[in-house]
Amino acid sequence: MHPTRRCSVLFGQLCVPGRGKQTTRRTISPALAQTGTRYCHPGVGGGGGGIKGTCAQLNPSGVHGTVSASACPMGGSNSRLFGTLAQSLNSTPLAQPDPYSEESPDQDLDPVLPEADPDQLLRECEEALQRRPARPHRDLVCPSSTEPCHHKHSSTIRVMQWNILAQALGEGKDGFIRCPLEALNWHERKYLILEEILTYRPDILCLQEVDHYYDTFQPIMASLGYHGTFLAKPWSPCLDVEQNNGPDGCALFYRRSRFSLHTTAHLRLSAMMLPTNQVAIVQMLNCRLTGRWLCVAVTHLKARSGWERLRSAQGADLLQSLRSITSRGSSQSEVGSGIVPLVVCGDFNAEPSEDVYRRFSSSPLGLNSAYKLLSSDGQTEPAYTTWKIRPSGESCSTLDYIWYSHEALSVESLLDIPTEEQIGPDRLPSYHYPSDHLSLLCDISFRDDPHRLM
């Protein structure tokens, strides 16, 4: 007997039977609402906009063109707001600096918002998802053992990497022929994304394909105590979709109680000396608990087969920037001498056989891929991090990675990869997986942290 959700009075519909051999029990809480009618945000660099933004068109040079006031109702949302986050979602949008610049913390601070209770928000997500099948359970596993890890030590740093699937692409361009359109509807899909984040509560969250940063993720994460930074693609494919929510891009969040910010670098990746459409965010953080420095980067490289050389060049450009940022130099004199430990998260759109993967694994920065540690020999990546069915056929690939400085950092646990049975015959996305990519998560610690010996 497959488990079913108890139906919520919010929906008044029959619950969908769950799939997968293990499920996560959802509980009932006060009603969680849906964001109001959405409008498109201005384009390049992630211009402003909250719930009441406007639609902006871009000319070929990337400069904002004529602004219209037409609504963008993609996702079928109605006028209700998140119950505990109405004030946050209606807050004044952030003023954005020059997108491709190095910023100081004072230029990149979120507004002070009322503190939200993550447990309450999680319950609200669970209620909003009562008619969907329960999310299959995933264990946190210790690399040195097949046994689940039940406790996270206070000194470890939890990092989540996830391509969450841009809403405009999911509904408008990607052609997931086995995924019902209803499963892609934003007013419920966003709760699946938030539920995953709230379940694991990472200290650092790296996202790709974010096209609802200002109206959803920034206010919610800020209310939960996170600092957020967003960088849009210069020519986002989301803007080709008639009813869109602005450009997609990368977002990086860190927990304010755990880290303080030193610098942020917004990078537009180059290939053969020419700027490309792919970007990266790099932040230098100081751990408040240990006093140690950590450099974190998030990126999303060029997609599709046939672009392997471009991805390799983009990776080389990113590695060069990371080497400069993490090395001792006048621009980093405040962080002390030596190489700063590094974590790089991203959808590389590259299998381990590609040149860009070899560039990262052989880099002088001393990077290792965390998810190799799930294999018996510690040298093999998972069989897949994305599995989708499009009109062109079925694609099962490993494209997403968490790279870390293996001499300075240790991986304590990893979130395991769902089985084929748990994913189901229609693959990703689906009613219980909001994206065509799986989230990756690991707990890391500094190797010379005395807490690790206790």
The domain spanning residue 430 has which CATH number?
3.60.10.10
User: Does 53 map to a domain?
Assistant: no
For residue 18, the one-letter residue type is G
Could you tell me if 159 and 444 are in contact, meaning their C-beta atoms sit under 8 angstroms apart?
A: yes
Domain that holds residue 179: 121-453
Amino acid at 286: N
Helix pair 118-128, 186-200: axis angle to 10 deg: 140
Average pLDDT, stretch 434-445? Answer: 97
Q: Is the pLDDT of residue 327 over 70?
A: yes
Q: pLDDT tens for residues 306-326?
A: 999 999 999 999 999 999 999
> What backbone torsions phi and psi does residue 45 show, to the nearest 5 degrees?
85, 0
* Calpha distance 359→322 (Å, rounded): 13
CA angle 188, 192, 196 (to 5 degrees): 160
The reply to whether 319 falls in a domain is yes
For the record, the structure tokens of 303 come out as: 């997609």
End-to-end CA distance of the chain: 44
CA distances from 434 to 106, 178, 249, 444 (A): 35, 14, 17, 26
Q: What is the pLDDT of residues 190-210, one digit of tens each?
A: 999 999 999 999 999 999 999
Taking residue 193's Cβ as centre, other Cβ atoms within 10 Å add up to: 22
Residue 265 has pLDDT above 60, yes or no: yes
Band of residue 109 on the pLDDT scale cut at 50, 70, 90: low
Three-state DSSP class for 427?
coil
Arithmetic mean of pLDDT over the chain: 80
d(CA 249, CA 233): 5
Q: Per the domain annotation, does 260 fall within a domain?
A: yes
Q: Which residue would you say has higher pLDDT here, 31 or 296?
A: 296
CA distance 439 to 200: 11
Q: Cα(254)–Cα(228) distance, rounded to whole angstroms?
A: 7
Residue 248 forms part of a structural domain: yes
Indicate whether 86 belongs to any domain.
Answer: no
Number of domains in the chain: 1
Backbone angles phi, psi at 201, to 5 degrees: 50, 65
Strand residues in 94-148 grouped as ranges (E): 102-103, 140-141
Query: pTM of this prediction?
Result: 0.80
Check residues 395 and 328 and name the one with the higher pLDDT. Answer: 395
**113 lies in some domain:** no
* H-assigned helices in 61-217: 86-89, 118-128, 167-172, 186-200
- Per the CB < 8 A criterion, the answer to whether 380 and 371 are in contact is no
142 is a domain residue: yes
**Has residue 38 been placed in a domain?**
no
pLDDT of residue 135: 85
Under 8 Å between Cβ of 22 and 422: yes
**How far is the C-alpha of 107 from the C-alpha of 104, rounded, in Å?**
6
pLDDT average, residue stretch 263-271: 97
Cβ atoms within 10 Å, residue 60: 7
Query: Is the distance from CB of 386 to CB of 162 less than 8 angstroms?
Result: no
Contact 244, 74 (CB under 8 A): yes
